[in-house]
Structure 1
């Protein structure tokens, strides 16, 4: 188990958080933490985020109109 001090919204202060037993096999690197004061759970997101992008297909722009 790894421990760290974080701010807990429920306890309204800095409290010791610990990693509970991880059934997913993460071990000490488990992203879940539990407050030792009230038991509130926190998820630490340490992964990467892949954003969807628009396709690179060019869309023709409309022709500019000129005054007659």
Structure 2
């Protein structure tokens, strides 16, 4: 079990959190953590985002100007 200190909303302060035994096979990389003070659970989620595609923008012609 790994330990780390995080803010616990239930306890109202920084508390040690530990990784519970993971039934999903994550081991120490399990995204679930439990507060050792009150038992509140938190989920640490990581997301991978693709870069946003910019819409094709047409450039104005060199001879045209907005009036």
1:49 Cα deviation after fit: 4.0
Give the match's secondary structure for 2:10.
coil
Alignment of 1:55-66 (within 5 A): none
Aligned partner of 1:4 in structure 2 is 4
Q: Which runs of 5+ in 2 are unaligned?
A: 57-67
Deviations 1:8-61 (A, max 9, x none): 00000000000000000000000000000010000001x33457x8xx7x9xxx
Partner Cα separation in structure 1 for residue 49 and residue 7 of structure 2: 28
Q: Which runs of 5+ in 1 are unaligned?
A: 59-68
Aligned partner of 2:59 in structure 1 is none
Q: What is the TM-score with the length of structure 2 in the denominator?
A: 0.70
RMSD, aligned CA: 2.3
> How many pairs were matched up?
64
Q: What is the TM-score with the length of structure 1 in the denominator?
A: 0.69
Superposition misfits of 4+ residues, deviation over 3 angstroms: none
Partner Cα separation in structure 2 for residue 14 and residue 21 of structure 1: 22
